[in-house]
Amino acid sequence: MKTTNNKPIVLITAGPTREAIDPVRFISNHSSGKMGYAIAGAFLDKGFEVILVSGPVNISLSHTSLRVIPVNSADEMYTACQKYFPVAQITIFAAAVADYKPAQVYTQKMKKSAHEFSLQMVKNVDIAFEFGKIKRNDQVSVGFALETNDEEQNALKKLYSKNLDLIVLNSVKDEAATFGYDTNKITIINRDFQFQAFPLKSKAEVAVDIVTAAIKVGQKQEQA
């Protein structure tokens, strides 16, 4: 799948999502977007046309072959990706998408009262899972597994349930890895149960490892 300028297309999700409670409050997570943006940079270096669907982050990246689509919520991220997934040769799900959102978004700022209150949450769309259902044999999908425990087992579950080709396991237990850091420590797992563990590296270097692995899967598909 190529653009009119003959460049292959990669779709990347990055950053956190924000799930609104009322006009001034939301539920979110600690993702800075650094990992997803580093992956975008590595694909640009490889000559790809990059579509970066990004939650709210404090990073700016510009390039003639880059289109950044800013979104807030998981629903917005899913809608933005729907247009590009069919034309993407490779999709990387690096965003930390909220699994739940408030059942109701209040139109007015909620007022403090003397009582406790609880928020009812409903499931969000699982973007990687939904695209896993329609992925073609000529497309490569790479997901992340962000874990605190039973890392490999949970990562393998996500690899298969979301119909991914590769899963990048990172653990919040590793020092200076995952949220917000400029470094990360990953293991890339493929569908043949091959585990490629890397030492702690800068996110730019980690991105190159991920991009190299994803391109290799694509080349294998072409040969098959």
Query: Where does this chain bind ligand PMT (CB under 6 A)?
Result: 13, 15, 31-35, 74, 93-97, 99, 124, 126-128, 143-146, 158, 170, 178-180
Instruction: State the Cα torsion 43-31-131-150 to the nearest 10°.
Output: 110
Instruction: Report d(CA 98, CA 51) in Å as an integer.
Output: 21
Q: Can you read off the two tokens belonging to residue 97?
A: 């998408």
Helix (H) or strand (E) holding 26: strand 25-27
Give the residue with the Cβ less far from ligand PMT, 8 or 55.
55
| Residue 85 C-beta: closest distance to ligand PMT, Å | 11
Tell me which residue has tokens 């990953």.
Answer: 186
Instruction: Report d(CA 224, CA 222) in Å as an integer.
Output: 6
Query: Would you say 117 and 22 are in contact if contact means Cβ atoms under 8 Å apart?
Result: no
| Residue 70 C-beta: closest distance to ligand PMT, Å | 15
| Residue 139 C-beta: closest distance to ligand PMT, Å | 15
Instruction: Report d(CA 61, CA 72) in Å as an integer.
Output: 18
With left for phi above 0 and alpha for psi between -120 and 50, is residue 205 left, alpha or beta?
alpha
Residues 6+ apart with CB under 8 A from 146: 96, 170, 171, 172, 178
Give the residue with the Cβ less far from ligand PMT, 7 or 72.
72
| Residue 115 C-beta: closest distance to ligand PMT, Å | 31
Active site positions, annotated: 29
Give the residue with the Cβ less far from ligand PMT, 104 or 161.
161
Give the residue with the Cβ less far from ligand PMT, 7 or 121.
121
